[in-house]
Amino acid sequence: MKYLGYALPIALATALISTGLFAQEAPSPKPLRELFTTPAGVTDPGVMMLDAGYQTARFRDGSQAQQFPTQVDLGICQWFDLRVDWNGPTTLKDPQGDNQSGGADPLFGGQFQALRQEKAGLDLGLAYWHKLPRASVEKGIGTGKADDTLLLTASRTLGFWEIDMNGGANWLGKPDGGRARQGVISLAVTRLFAPGWNASLDTYALAPTDLGPRTASAQGQRTITSILAVSRDIGPSLTLDLGVEAGLTRSAERLALDAGLVWRMGQFWGKK
């Protein structure tokens, strides 16, 4: 049973890719805001995209967290974009009901796309993030240590369906120095079910570490979580989404609610 969280998403992806049911011509689905899994495609050159949202989470020990995840992407060329991410003002409530509030750690990164589905049969690339330790350690919002993330990203569109897969690792700064490596794997399956409407199931797993609750992997346990979300296109430049997140293991959050938007802010250079 301990490998069930890995086996089910991989089996689902294999079945969808191998079946011929999706070979027909069909409108392409539109990926949702990056709740966890990152699609392999990059932002078009000169285009700036804004992902913004609100999340509230409840944990199994009775604690709660609220944050405002925000990400800005800027396309540099056909195969690379730059990304800035910040969880905004964060509020933590411990099991005793005491609150702590403050700004989250900012992240800077980029994404590289090596292959495109038109020529290679799938999109394939790499995504990298570096976390700057700026959040308060005293309030429990930050760790005071820098972290790095490197992911292999893969995507394929099959008719009304899109499949996105990530695999890689986090390198997490330890309080006493050094790094702890944490494996990461995720799968998102998105379907266009009506014009302008998309639904996505995003499942991810984090390997256990010796760093405890800061990595959502307390007591050396693997963390597995699924997110079910629906999005609606309001116009060619604006999409809204709503999702619910459920932890599938005891080390994950019990339940979280997400709401947000994706806004194509404009194109500053390149072909329009």
Radius of gyration of the chain (CA): 19
Letter for the amino acid at 190? T
At 177 the pLDDT is 85
Provide the pLDDT confidence category of residue 25 given band limits of 50, 70 and 90: low
pLDDT score of 209: 86
Please report the pLDDT score of residue 24 as a whole number. Answer: 46
Average pLDDT over residues 86-103: 94
Query: Is the distance from CB of 256 to CB of 55 less than 8 angstroms?
Result: yes
Over residues 106-113, the mean pLDDT reads: 98
CA–CA dist 211, 217 (Å, integer): 8
Phi/psi region, residue 266 (left: phi>0; alpha: psi -120 to 50; beta: rest), is left
The domain over range 4-267 is classified in CATH as 2.40.160.40:
yes
DSSP β-bridge partners for residue 234: none
- Rounded distance between C-alpha atoms, residue 57 and residue 258, angstroms: 9
Angle, CA 12 vertex, CA 6 and CA 18 arms, to 5°: 130
**Rounded Cα–Cα distance for residues 149 and 126 (Å):** 10
In this prediction, residue 32 has a pLDDT band, given cuts at 50, 70 and 90, of confident
Read off the DSSP letter of residue 78.
T
| pLDDT value of residue 11 | 47
Q: What is the mean pLDDT of residues 143-163?
A: 96
Q: What is the pTM of this model?
A: 0.86
Averaged pLDDT, 165-190: 94
Per residue in 219-266, pLDDT tens? 457 899 999 999 999 999 999 999 999 999 988 999 999 999 999 999
- Residue 139 · residue 145 · CB < 8 Å: no
